[in-house]
Structure 1
Amino acid sequence: MSLFECVAVVLAGLAAGTINSVVGSGTLITFPTLLAFGVPPVVANVSNNIGLVPGSVTGAIGYRDELGGQRARVVRLLSASVLGGAIGAVLLLRLPEGAFETIVPVLILLGVVLVLFQPRLSAWVRARSEASGVETQGDHWWVWPAVLLTGVYGGYFGAAQGVLLMGVLGIGIAQSLQRSNAVKNVLAAAVNGVAGTIFAVVADVDWLVVALIGSGAVVGGLLGARVGKRLPPVVLRALIVVVGLVAFVAILAG
């Protein structure tokens, strides 16, 4: 890579780390950048996944205050994310490249709809629980399997993984959007971490790309946490929806 390309990849990592901490979909910045500089698609996907792990970690650290009182929830959901991320990574290595071309846009659009209508859907879920006489005190039962499936998607590709997670957590867990965003950052970091570990062992990795993206993503994760925590719930929800729609259009166009 030339000096210009190296700088561009670092800046892409910075932008991706920032947006991942706030919403997700940072892959839509780094992945096309790598392709534009001639990195083969599979190598770009694998190297990008590993490179974004440090940014996911710093983003989670930046949201540590919002994680207060959620230890049991995070530990429980981490098992789903780790398992899902491992399955997704194996699928990426085993399945044809175009296997998920149809389902990925549908999943992203589903995540956008879930986030957009989250307040009404949450109220409906609570009403159904009360009407059935089984009032949910904690997380709804379907949150764990939904996080597992989101982890599979994240391990396979990852673009808009955060949008999907926010849709699931926002509806299935009765708490503020910011506290759910904190959990999202931890789960996304786990998915990227386990998938990245598998890729590092068995896949073709461009370690220069990993270093460049990682250096930018670390700073971006901390920056995104500072910005994201200051956003009002309505603004945060609107940003998630906009980013999700951009991801949907970008993947369809690709």
Structure 2
Amino acid sequence: MDSIQATLLLVAGVATGAFNAVAGGGSLIAFSALMGVGVPPLTAKLTSTVSVFPGNVASVVGGRRDLPPRADARRVLPAAVLGGVAGSVLLLVTPTRVFDVIVPFLVIAASAVLGLQDRLDGLVRRSALRHGREHPAALQASIALGGVYGGYVGAGFGIVLVATLALLQPEPLTRMVALKNLLSAVISFVAVVLFVFFGTVNWAAVGILAPATVVGGYAGARLLRRLPGGLLRAVVVTFGVLFGLVLLGRNVL
């Protein structure tokens, strides 16, 4: 890895952490940057997951006061673990050529999820204000499916997860976001363990990206909230769609 590639990853890591702190979906930046410096798609996915994990833990620590009671958290953690294992194993057993074909659609889909964040946020807030019955079976199934998505795709799954939580249980928004962060960290931890032991991770890239995401997350929380979130999201969504189309033309068409 030359100095230009290392610098690109460093900038991407800071941007990933900052964007996750402001709007979510930043892992798409790290994944794209890894592919941009020549890391194969599957290795790039595994490497970006490992690199972003410290930021997920930091989010849990930062929001620990808003976490639901331990009994409530323990009730949904098994579903998250099961889904995370299923998604991660599915990714590991997917042939490289198949993943090369799938990845453009995953990038475009993740960009679409990020682009719809405003609508999902509105749905979350309306649901958070609505008092109703919990739906435990649907909640478990949805979290498990979210875990599969998180283990396999990763980018944007936190947005989907918090919307699901809001729809299926009447809790304050701050508590749902804190629970989402916990579930995201658990799913990511499962994926990281499996990827480290059974996958191929570019550790040189992790050494650059991981600390950069922490720095970016801290800076983003303090500074980037002054910027229009919609503008930041539009930039990443546009980049993601264009990057996905380029991959589609190169890998599929």
TM range (shorter): 0.7 to 0.9
Matched, 1:43 2:56: no
Distance 2:90 2:30 in 1: 21
TM-align CA RMSD: 3.4
Distance 2:59 2:221 in 1: 6
User: For each residue in 1:102-145, what CA deviation from the matched residue of structure 2 results, as whole angstroms up to 9, or x when unmatched?
Assistant: 6882983897454333345567x85xxxxxxxx62x56542221
Q: 1:199-238 counterparts in 2 under 5 A? A: 199-224=195-220
- Equivalent residue letter for 2:73: V
- Is the 8 Å Cα contact of residues 108 and 247 (structure 1) preserved in structure 2? no
Decide which structure has greater helix share: 2
- Is the 8 Å Cα contact of residues 60 and 182 (structure 2) preserved in structure 1? yes
Q: Quick one: percent identity of the two aligned structures?
A: 32
Gap regions ≥5 residues in structure 2: 248-253
Indicate which of 109, 112, 121 corresponds to 1:105.
109
Q: Secondary structure in 2 aligned to 1:204?
A: coil
Distance 1:187 1:121 in 2: 19
Number of positions where the alignment pairs a residue of Structure 1 with one of Structure 2: 238
- Equivalent residue letter for 1:79: P
- Is the 8 Å Cα contact of residues 10 and 212 (structure 2) preserved in structure 1? yes
- Is the 8 Å Cα contact of residues 128 and 173 (structure 2) preserved in structure 1? no
Match of 1:129 in 2: none
Query: Could you say if the C-alpha distance between residues 243 and 70 of structure 1 is closer, same or farther in structure 2, counting changes exceeding 3 Å?
Result: farther
- Is the 8 Å Cα contact of residues 124 and 162 (structure 2) preserved in structure 1? no
Matched, 1:59 2:70: no
My pick for the range that moved more, 47-56 or 141-150, is: 141-150
Query: Could you say if the C-alpha distance between residues 175 and 192 of structure 1 is closer, same or farther in structure 2, counting changes exceeding 3 Å?
Result: same
Match of 1:143 in 2: 139
Query: Could you say if the C-alpha distance between residues 110 and 242 of structure 1 is closer, same or farther in structure 2, counting changes exceeding 3 Å?
Result: closer
Aligned-pair CA distance for 1:150: 0.7
- Equivalent residue letter for 2:162: M
TM-score by length of 2: 0.77
- Equivalent residue letter for 1:28: L
My pick for the range that moved more, 172-181 or 94-103, is: 94-103
